[in-house]
Structure 1
Amino acid sequence: MPFLCLCFVICWLDRVNISFAHLQFKNDLNINDASFGLIVGALSLGCLIFDIPGTLMLEKYGAKKTITRVMILWGIATIGTAFARTTGQFYIFRFLLGAAEAGFFPGVILYLTYWFPTAWRARISSRFIIAIGICGIVGGPLASWIMTHLNDVGGFRGWQWLFIFTGILPLIIGFIAWFWLDDRPEQARWLTKDEKRLVLQLLNDDKGQAKENGKDSLFKALKDYRVWVIIISYVLTIICTGNVVNFWAPSIIKESGNISLGSVGMLSSLPWTIGVVAMLIVSRLSDHYQERRWFFAGGVISIISALVILPFVLHNAVYTVLTLVLMSSGYLVATAIYWTIPSQYFSEKSKAGCIALVSLFGQLGQILVPAFIGYLKNQTGSITSALHFVTVFISLGLILLLAGIPGNTLLKK
């Protein structure tokens, strides 16, 4: 789990480093907010096309080969982004980054089901998704330090050094993954025979107790309206929130007062620090009570509350950061709890394809939502109107999941 978390930290850093780089290259290259929204979404277009094949490849070829390939390719794509000079070139490199990364997140969610029974899923998911929080904690200060202290060193701007440095990391980790990861418990060199037998017995018992929903293939699963409820609610809640906290938070903080680039990095880490603690606590409680829907709802309600408050405090740095604390905490809690729902609802035979399908539609949302936010911000000069729309979307997503997924569909016999 620590190694998978490290992989995801680096993955997420490569995804969101553009939110800090944008603070500098938007002036260097004359790129407006609407174009930036499209650049952010270009990554998801690559994921959209290759997410399902990437996840199915992990199921077929194993985590060792898949994660090694993914990390090396996305390191190359990230380094390439440092040399983009036009909006079109940014589109290309971000698309290539998405294509390289495709299948990583849903693949790991699937991979975890090979190792841990249902009753452990929330806390295990949180230990993987904690990477988003860790990236938020260290990513901001790291990005601002690189962009400030390495600016114009060797003829490269600070934002270019940011892409180069964060691209070298996955190249190194990718080679380590080949020697570190085991595809299944029975192949683990670090487990004794008795430990392997125990783990496999727990997993077999878990499969035997799982509630059968008649979805023994991906095509049959797609006829179940609840599968679409799970997918659509993911786009409306997790994806919409993620676009605000991951890609626009640095700009929101910077515009809330006369704040330097270095201070933006430090202030952006505070919401994630508190959010990580909240996620770990709530995930453990979710496993203890074996309740998913209402713990997920609690996280989403925190997000909605923050979005209602944020437009009124955008010009006060202290209140803005505190509101982002509430939003980031809700986002991490909701994300960790959410991924227990599809992995618990889908059958073993359809699980890989369905989880990939959730991620695929999430990538579609990642294309549309940042472009939508960027367009409204560019047209109005403020992010306020976009926040109002996002609040409505998230509220609808929560209502849809609570109404469409009854609690008894996630229980064991």
Structure 2
Amino acid sequence: MSEIVSRKVLRRLVPFLMLCYFAAFLDRVNVGFAALTMNRDLGLSAAVYGFGAGIFFLGYFLFEVPSNIILEKVGARRWIARIMITWSIVSASTAFVVGEYSFYLVRFLLGIAEAGFFPGIILYLTYWFPSEQRAKVVGAFMAAIPISSVIGSPLSAWIMAATDGAHGLAGWQWLYLIEAAPSFLLGFAVLAYLTDRPALATWLTPQERDWLVARIEQDRRERVVVQKIGLRQALMHPRVLGLALVYFGVSTGLYGIGLWLPQIVKGFGLSTIETGFVTAIPYIVSVVGMIAWTRHSDRTMERTWHTALPALVGGLAFAAAGYIPSPTLAMVALSVAALGVFACMPTFWTLPTALLTGSAAAGGIALINAIGGLGGFVGPYLIGWIKDATGQFSLALLAIAGFMVAAGLLALVLGRSGTVPEAVPAE
């Protein structure tokens, strides 16, 4: 029965959650494409853009833990729907910013609106999938990030080129308005489609529901850390804080490349449309690589090296990309860097979910994502500040490389000290 139920749950939940995350990430990073003309229209410097793009994560940080605790209390269906509807409205309002301060305000509000979505989904998946399946499942869900860029990069470039000047609005304004619509509609779809817990899943037979509820409860009892960790302990636990620092380093790379890659690529002398297609290349590589890597992690039941190695390789690739004179070879290095980021992240998220349960999982996962998400502020702002100071991206990419390498080394240290839990095979 296990294979039948697992496939049924996988088909029911993961494609829909991927679609929701696709829309979320598109709304989060389309600012990178808008910046190709928005910065000029609004007179934003590289440092101002980097700060505004990254300030999203300050709002995200402040409301992440409360949001995830509310989700645990009221249920994923209603809370995720609320998140998606409100963030889509805020994202659309970015079309009407008029300068740096309104840009800062809207990006900050967007972070508040979206806070809790990603860790909420990670928590939600623990209700439905035992630990030995999670790297594969989280990897499939998180494949929505590079897929959103594979599709969204050329789509965003086309929207900006095709709509520029229509009804008196610039192409970047239409970009925000058009790409906010899917999130708004999906928010209402969540209310109709998602099920909060396996016990409420009418799309499973009674026997399938009973088996799944029992299997998830068994998995909870088999966690590596057998002592009970409460919410307050989880928020101050050295394991949780160590994992948060690892995620901080990886997030610096993720959003450093995610929010600046279109401008880096356009610097190769390409048009906006060409930039859209070339920017998609690193994400195509990442989709294939992250799925293969997470499957290998589940087969071997190993987590530490599957987190650390891609972070280290990705960091070295970031460093190389800034000093390669050939645009073609630089794109190869950036593709390897993106692969390192995306291969690392799904396996990383198996670690806190193997450590925490209940309200401790809700708070701990949210805290890790909140602290880690601050890397999404540091990365874009650091790149913008260094770009303004030096006139080039080389030193900026080297700085991002340092955060990635540090994350990989810290993951190894945590693993060697026993701080990072490994997967436990089901009996």
Structure 1 length as normaliser, TM-score? 0.96
Q: Does the CA-based 8 Å contact 1:78-1:163 persist in structure 2?
A: yes
Alpha-carbon spacing, 1:347–1:188, altered in 2? closer, same or farther (3 Å): closer
Name the residue aligned to 1:252.
Answer: 264
Report the 3-state secondary structure (helix = DSSP H, G, I; strand = E; otherwise coil) of the residue aligned with 1:382: coil
Q: Post-superposition shift, 1:207?
A: 1.6
Name the residue aligned to 2:87.
Answer: 74
1:52-67 mapped onto 2 (5 Å cutoff): 52-67=65-80
Name the residue aligned to 2:5.
Answer: none
Amino acid at match of 1:246: G
> Partners of 1:112 and 1:410 in 2: how far apart?
18
1:13-412 mapped onto 2 (5 Å cutoff): 13-236=26-249, 238-255=250-267, 257-313=268-324, 315-406=325-416, 409-412=421-424
> Partners of 1:122 and 1:146 in 2: how far apart?
35
> Partners of 2:414 and 2:319 in 1: how far apart?
25
Q: Does the CA-based 8 Å contact 1:376-1:383 persist in structure 2?
A: yes
> Partners of 2:56 and 2:406 in 1: how far apart?
26
Amino acid at match of 1:117: P
Report the 3-state secondary structure (helix = DSSP H, G, I; strand = E; otherwise coil) of the residue aligned with 1:216: coil
Alpha-carbon spacing, 1:213–1:229, altered in 2? closer, same or farther (3 Å): farther
Unaligned residue ranges in structure 1 (runs of 5+) = none
Amino acid at match of 2:50: G
Q: Post-superposition shift, 1:367?
A: 2.3
Q: Post-superposition shift, 1:200?
A: 1.2
Q: Post-superposition shift, 1:288?
A: 0.7
Q: Does the CA-based 8 Å contact 2:312-2:409 persist in structure 1?
A: no
Report the 3-state secondary structure (helix = DSSP H, G, I; strand = E; otherwise coil) of the residue aligned with 1:366: helix
Name the residue aligned to 2:7.
Answer: none
Percentage of pairs with the same residue: 34
Name the residue aligned to 2:21.
Answer: 8
Moved more, 221-230 or 57-66: 221-230
After superposition, the C-alpha distances for 1:236-265 in whole angstroms (9 at most, x for unaligned) are 2x111112220111111111x220000010
Q: Does the CA-based 8 Å contact 2:257-2:338 persist in structure 1?
A: yes
Report the 3-state secondary structure (helix = DSSP H, G, I; strand = E; otherwise coil) of the residue aligned with 2:322: helix
Unaligned residue ranges in structure 2 (runs of 5+) = 1-13
> Partners of 2:224 and 2:389 in 1: how far apart?
50
After superposition, the C-alpha distances for 1:348-397 in whole angstroms (9 at most, x for unaligned) are 44111100100111232322332222111111111111222222222222
Q: Post-superposition shift, 1:211?
A: 2.2
> Partners of 1:412 and 1:144 in 2: how far apart?
45
Moved more, 396-405 or 179-188: 396-405
Moved more, 16-25 or 169-178: 169-178
